[in-house]
Amino acid sequence: MAIIAPSMLSANFLRLEEEIEMINKSEADWFHLDVMDGRFVPNITFGMPIIAQMKKKASKTFDVHLMIVEPERYVEDFAKAGADILTVHYEASTHLHRTIQMIKANGMKAGVALNPHTPVSVLTDIIGDLDLVLVMSVNPGFGGQKFIEQTLHKVRSLKRMIAENEAKTLIEIDGGVTLDNAHTLIKDGADALVAGNTVFGAPDPTDMIKRLKAVTK
């Protein structure tokens, strides 16, 4: 059964405490938190202060996805804010291995995200050091985009790479995840699914999370 990580970017921020409590009580596994800086992607979201406040109410893993330039500058700050998993973009990290080691040194699990145009082969020499690879199945920056079908090929290739290196790396999919493609993604090798509009746009978000869990058994 897949790890389900509702993306809080799609939550109603006027009712944020209620949305957090809903996730706490649901079958969801993680909170997915998208941090955007308006430079790496054309959007700005929230940062450490908001995450620190959310952490006071949340009872599940904080899966923080940094869509920012120079992520290494903020690793310690996000650890203090409450991140349990910290994912940085391959495309934004000049010294990726150093950044991964810094994340782990600060007590977090380390992830690397890949944009749709980036092949999984760039991670060959570092896959054994990663707790998670986040495959972007839409272009990063905005929610509600259509799923890019090429993602399925990337997931299968990445799964083979992980097996060949005897790594324990999880594969997470972010973007366009729905009830229609969730089962296929898990069958092809994904372990965790980020769902934003699919969850928070549903009439009953709690039930939608339950249904996502059920189709990925």
Query: Catalytic residue positions?
Result: 34, 174
3-state DSSP assignment of residue 92: helix
Q: Which positions ≥6 away from 132 have C-beta within 8 Å?
A: 85, 87, 109, 110, 111, 112, 169, 170, 171, 172, 192
Q: Which helix (H) or strand (E) holds 111?
A: strand 109-114
Q: Give the Cα separation of 99 and 102 in Å (integer).
A: 5
Cα–Cα–Cα angle for 171, 177, 183, rounded to 5 degrees = 70
